[in-house]
Amino acid sequence: MRYKLLFVCLGNICRSPSAENIMTYLIEQANLSEHILCDSAGTSSYHIGSSPDRRMSAAAATKLGIKLRGHARQFQKSDFQDFDMILAMDRENYEDILTLDPTGQYHDKVYLMCEFCSRQTLKEVPDPYYGGVEGFNQVVDLLVDACEGLLKCIISQQPRV
């Protein structure tokens, strides 16, 4: 049985696919690919089917040497059942996800991504879409920190991992 993570932002072309791919890279480095699965989604339908933003892809390639894979999809209510943890990039997306669970049944699965940072002090992953190169680089640095912390947390809490 695999432990399943879902990373969520607004459009699923910048932050959440970066988190998904960075986490997948860290999981591969730790030889845990058969135990942990990653996916990403957006709370909006703006970019369904689109590849990750080219500026985000360039930042990930330059800073980490990884290629961002995947295509944007919208968060679905069924994701609550399908995933063990749902990681929102910012407070607005966090609230949008919780709104889709009015009974609160799955609220304990939803987290803010920055809760897992150990070096960075930001509480939310900023949306770099309308900014310059430095914003995309900042997102990569922030997500590396958060993903490293998340992986440590999962390993410490999941005896089967």
pLDDT of residue 104: 97
Q: Measure Cα distances from 104 to 57, 108, 110 in Å.
A: 35, 8, 10
Active-site positions read: 9, 15, 127
Q: How far apart are CA 48 and CA 50, in angstroms?
A: 6
What is the widest separation between alpha-carbon atoms in the chain? 43
Tokens of 66: 């990884």
List Cβ neighbours of 110 (8 Å cut-off, separation of 6 or more). Answer: 86, 87, 88, 94, 97, 98, 101
Averages of pLDDT over each 10 residues, the chain, 161 residues: 95 98 98 97 96 97 96 98 98 98 97 97 96 96 98 86 60
Instruction: Please name the helix (run of DSSP H) or strand (run of DSSP E) that holds residue 112, with its range, or none.
Output: strand 110-112
Helices (H), 5-117: 15-29, 54-64, 79-82, 91-99
DSSP 39: E
Q: Which two tokens stand for residue 92?
A: 């607005």
pLDDT at 140: 98
Pull the structure tokens for residue 100.
């889709």
Identify the pLDDT of residue 38.
98
pLDDT at residue number 146? 98
Q: What is the pLDDT of residue 159?
A: 66
